[in-house]
Chains A and B, each alone.
Chain A
Amino acid sequence: MRQFLLFIIIIIVGLTFIGRLFYLQVYNLEGHNLFDDNAIRKVYDYPKRGFVYDRNGKLLVSNQPSYDVMVIPREVKPLDTLEFCSLLKIDKEQFNKIYKKAYHYSPRLPSVFVPQLSKEDYAALQEKMRKYEGFYIQKRSLRDYQTTIGANVLGYIAEATPYQIENDPYYNMGDLIGKQGVELSYEEELRGVKGIKFIQKDRFNRDIGPYKDGVYDTLPKQGRDITISIDSELQKYGERLMQMKHGGIVAIEPNSGEILALVSAPTYDPNLLVGRKRSRNFTKLYNDTINRPLIDRGLLRMHEPGSPFKVFVALVALQENAITPQTTVFCNGGYNYGGRKPMGCHCGGGKRDLVLGIAKSCNSYFANAFRKSIDMYPDAGNSMDIWSNHMKSFGFGDFLGYDLAIGKKGNMPNGAYYDKWYPDFNWGATTIISNSIGQGEVLVTPIQLANATAAIANKGYYYTPHIIKHIEGKPIDKKYTTKNQTTIDPKHFDPVIQGLFDVYNNGTAWFLKVPGIDVCGKTGTAENFTIIDGKRTQLTDHSIFIAFAPKDDPKIALAVFVENGYYGARWAGRIASLMIEKYLKGEVTLKQMEQMVLDKSLEEEYAKPYSGKPFTINN
């Protein structure tokens, strides 16, 4: 035993060392790379961020240089703080605060000390930078908006958050990253790849020279320019029409799915979110809870679809052979389905077939069509599932899959949905009859409505809506060039389209005709409730309109949603006509209508719930 003690200890120590070395050098290897090595200075070279053009080649977004003062706390040497502060235009207290924060983030990694210097400050500082060890100037490029429109579509860039930095090794403290709109959706294409130079330091932090003669250095890769499908003229016009109103306009080119305009009102000037003033302006926009300018209403505003939904109810009924185009209903001012109170109808009354039913927006006709669809099968739940699936084939009830990062699913109820609602009640068509006129549990977003309208224009299919038209040197995602077929047979669309056309002839939008263009459309109104002082209170209805044109070769399909705009034809319908004329003709002849829309302010309506005083609605 005595002979072996040292033998054994030597072997144990040897194995422990090898184990520890294995851990440090092999197992733990992930932990080490050039980037972690503080013996190597990393100098980043940021590439040009890709430009953004509109569908007609008009430059919307370019770049401007910007200079950040960076700090590596560990390398900071005692300095003349007063002089340095005066150059940076900060006071001593701020200096200490920022320094502490940077040190807390990491003593050895660079942090932004003062972001986005003005050109003058930069010039003054550049000369003297050498004196301040541990500080350096990092050049970056900021966005330079060539336009004041489309803030919601274009989005903005800002410093990557600590969370993003942690999750994507590409980003460092102070790097800019797309936060919304196409800046976010096409971040990787737009940003390019930053270049990096590795510089060997000695322990006194002096540069010795390029690390390994620069073999690991990379050149920056320029960002790709992108062309978006937005027609900036149309977008601008839409934003003008929506001034002093809240709501959204989504216009889509039916035969491609390209989004021609995505208006959200109220909007803001994208230039507000550039540079040093960005965070102050952002806070201001964020805190504007009445106007909520940061919410893209075209994508996020869920609402009851109202009457335009009747068109889809009709299409499903036709597909399920619940009705034929010749099916007639006699409307006597309401539809009595055995409920407590018959469903009212303001169509004027009389004998309605499908085409006239659509044109006059007869509630009775679609209540009947819906009821027949649900009564097709013995089990209402089963019928509702079938009905729901037809609806979903138009893109309702789920995210559409467009290339903007925000959206809402909406709601398209099925059998299970109502089983949950009425657990011990044998519900049937009449229980859920208000869905037939778009006022039940169905919820949609403007872009879903616009897309479904495009599917009608195409007689049964749609392309997933998208904002991208072209990426420099790279094809766009295949899913945007693949047809999505609806479950409705193309032959059923003809009578429906005729009905939509008659809306402008002898229907609810007869006064909204666009000279020389055959427009198909449908008015809609959605009831509007809010909570005031804990009480459910009704506000003025939302004004809704869907349309496409020209009838025989659709070039544009759109949905317009005007909050508190009252009945559909009133504001949404007018805006739809003006948008269609603007897009198809390039100019607007409906001058009187245009003036009326431009002059109309709904701000008084929006202020009502906040006024604290009694108010009237729908006037």
Chain B
Amino acid sequence: MYRETNRHFRFDWITIIIFLLLVGFGWLNILSASHVGETIDYFDFSQPYGKQLMFIALTVLLIILILSIESKFYERFSSIIYIVSMLSLVGLFIAGKNVNGATSWYAIGGMTIQPSEFAKAATALAVAKFLSDLQTDIKNFKDQIKAFIIIAIPAILILLQNDAGSTVVYASFFFVFYREGLPKIYLTLSLLLIFISVSSLKFGATITGIVFTILILAYHFTRRKKPRILQTLFAIATCLVLSFGIKFFYQNILQPHQQDRISLWLRLEKDPDKIAQMRRDILYNLYESEKAISSGGLTGKGFLEGTRTTGKFVPEQHTDYIFSTVGEEWGFAGTTFVVVLFVLLLLRILHLSELQKSQFSRVYGYSVASILFFHFMINIGMVMGLIPTIGIPLPFFSYGGSGLWGFTILLFIFIKLDSNRINEW
């Protein structure tokens, strides 16, 4: 009886409220970033804000559908969902529509669907299924390879469609694997790789090579139990190869516009005129978005009042650069609000994940948090110029039906799984 009367309280309302706030506030900003002229016709479906309103309406239906499906369904059918999703990615090579150089869309009627947005949820289900399998042990090298293949398939398919931004997101599964027992050595190696890359570009390959060699030798000789000399030499060789390899990769393999993104990010260029030039020519969006954000001040210029937003200075502002509209029109108050909402949402999901009784739910929840976190970090970091420009949407916020639906499915499957946890009491 108790369960029946409190049926709707089983869902985690905190998460749902944050979700609603993000979607609602996001839409207001899309409206501001995309409306033209004096009048606003909310149901003008030729305009992004009108379309987004329709997407949101359809999202409600989607949520009802997800929540009414039995929890067990997601676990049982996860493999099939994953395979179908991968096939939809493969299908792009045959029937995909090219937009802005990326072949990531299916055109159905007047609408376009981007299967990569749904692939994240499918991959998360597959990873959860795999890791929760009693036979799987992530400490085992063979299983590590298998887990890696699960995320590599969508990542490679998406990369082949020229959508580098969405590919990067699959790196977020590292956190999931690590949580589930991936050996620490991987964490150490990843950090080392990042250090060597940045250092090699910033301070030069030779200096980096020397410094790391000295560090490794120091480690070798200070350890009471001496590591084998071969191991040490191998580590040194790896570091040297990496530091020179990265430099070579940067200088000879990356295309000039990619070089400039990294150069600007790591402040490799010293000539201020050249920097300004790079910002203007290559990173026009970033330059304008940073200016738009800083022009907002403490409380912003007001809703629909942003000069750069209404002047359409920031291209793609209603999609990947939507955060700059928040910055300009709502100021520091608005941007902090959004950042805090995201942090709360992520922490809430992590917290709920840790409470899960089933490993499947926990791994899935962890995947959701990791994926959302990557989007949040890369998108806002990019819009503020903290990291190189990688075009990915801000979850629930950016314009686009596929994106909104993809993230909604991702999140609400977890909400459904989580509601089941309460059921088990």
Contact = CB atoms under 8 A, between A and B. Distances in A.
B307 A39 contact: yes
Given A6-B370, A39-B313, A31 B380 contact: no
Given A18-B336, A18-B339, A203-B312, A6 B294 contact: no
A2 B178 contact: yes
A17 B381 contact: yes
Contact of B346 (A5, A10, A17): A10
A39 B311 contact: yes
Nearest to A108: B280
A-B interface, 7 closest residue pairs, ranked by CB to CB distance from nearest: A14-B343, A25-B332, A39-B311, A24-B294, A39-B307, A32-B295, A21-B335
A3 interface: yes
Given A6-B370, A17-B335, 10 more contacts: A6-B179, A13-B381, A14-B342, A18-B340, A25-B293, A25-B331, A39-B313, A200-B310, A208-B310, A212-B305
Interface residues of A, number: 35
B380 A17 contact: yes
Contacts of A74: 280
B350 A6 contact: yes
Contacts of B235: none
B293 A37 contact: no
Nearest to A11: B343
B84 to A, nearest CB: 29
Most B Cβ at <10 Å: residue of A13, A202, A212: A13
Contacts of A463: none
A25 B343 contact: no
Contacts of B370: 6
Given A21-B332, A211-B307, A6 B295 contact: no
Contact of A203 (B311, B347, B376): B311
Given A5-B178, A24-B294, A10 B307 contact: no
B293 A24 contact: yes
A281 interface: no
A29 interface: yes
Interface string B280-314: 10000000101101111110000001011011110
Nearest to A74: B280
Determine the main DSSP class of A at the interface with B: helix
B147 interface: no
B369 A25 contact: no
A93 B393 CA distance: 49
Interface of A: 2-3, 5-7, 9-11, 13-14, 16-18, 20-22, 24-26, 28-29, 31-32, 37, 39-40, 74, 107, 200-203, 208, 211-212
B337 to A, nearest CB: 10
Contacts of A40: 307
A513 to B, nearest CB: 73
A21 B343 contact: no
A17 B384 contact: yes
A25 B175 contact: no
B354 interface: yes
B293 A17 contact: no
A24 B384 contact: yes
Contact of B386 (A11, A16, A211): A16
A23 to B, nearest CB: 9
Contacts of B312: 202-203
A11 B350 CA distance: 12
B27 interface: no
A177 B139 CA distance: 77
B377 interface: yes
Interface of B: 175, 178-179, 181, 187, 276, 280, 288, 290-291, 293-298, 305, 307-308, 310-313, 315, 327, 331-332, 335-336, 339-340, 342-343, 346-347, 350, 354, 366, 369-370, 373, 376-377, 380-381, 384, 386
B336 A21 contact: yes
Nearest to A28: B294
A10 B293 contact: no
29 contacts: A2-B181, A3-B354, A5-B178, A5-B187, A6-B350, A6-B369, A6-B373, A10-B346, A10-B350, A13-B376, A13-B377, A13-B381, A16-B386, A17-B380, A21-B332, A22-B332, A24-B290, A24-B294, A25-B296, A29-B297, A29-B298, A31-B294, A32-B297, A37-B295, A37-B307, A40-B307, A107-B280, A200-B311, A203-B313
A530 B276 CA distance: 55
A141 B130 CA distance: 80
A203 B327 CA distance: 19
Nearest to A16: B386
Nearest to B37: A208
Nearest to A22: B332
A21 B178 contact: no
Contacts of A13: 373, 376-377, 381
Contacts of B346: 10
Nearest to A20: B384
Contacts of B335: 17, 21, 25
B311 A14 contact: no
Contacts of A3: 179, 354
A7 B350 contact: yes
B299 to A, nearest CB: 9
B297 A21 contact: no
B297 A26 contact: yes
Contacts of B290: 24
Contacts of B373: 6, 9-10, 13
A21 B384 contact: yes
B61 to A, nearest CB: 31
Nearest to B300: A25
A379 to B, nearest CB: 62
Nearest to B351: A7
Contacts of A5: 175, 178-179, 187
B15 to A, nearest CB: 15
B307 A17 contact: no
A14 B175 contact: no
A32 B178 contact: no
B286 to A, nearest CB: 13
Contacts of A16: 386
Contacts of B311: 39, 200-203, 208
Contacts of A203: 288, 311-313, 315
B298 A26 contact: yes
B281 to A, nearest CB: 11
Contacts of B327: 21, 24-25
Given A21-B293, A40-B307, A26 B332 contact: yes
Contacts of A202: 311-313
Nearest to A198: B307
B297 A25 contact: yes
Contacts of B307: 37, 39-40, 200, 211
Nearest to A13: B377
Contacts of A17: 335, 339, 380-381, 384, 386
Nearest to A2: B179
Contacts of A10: 343, 346-347, 350, 369, 373
A74 B276 CA distance: 12
B193 to A, nearest CB: 17
Contacts of A25: 293-294, 296-298, 327, 331-332, 335
Contacts of B384: 17, 20-21, 24
A18 B334 CA distance: 11
Nearest to B377: A13
A202 B313 CA distance: 7
Contacts of B380: 17
A370 to B, nearest CB: 64
Contacts of A208: 310-311
Contacts of B175: 5-6
A29 B290 CA distance: 13
A39 B308 contact: yes
Nearest to A32: B295
Most B Cβ at <10 Å: residue of A6, A18, A211: A6
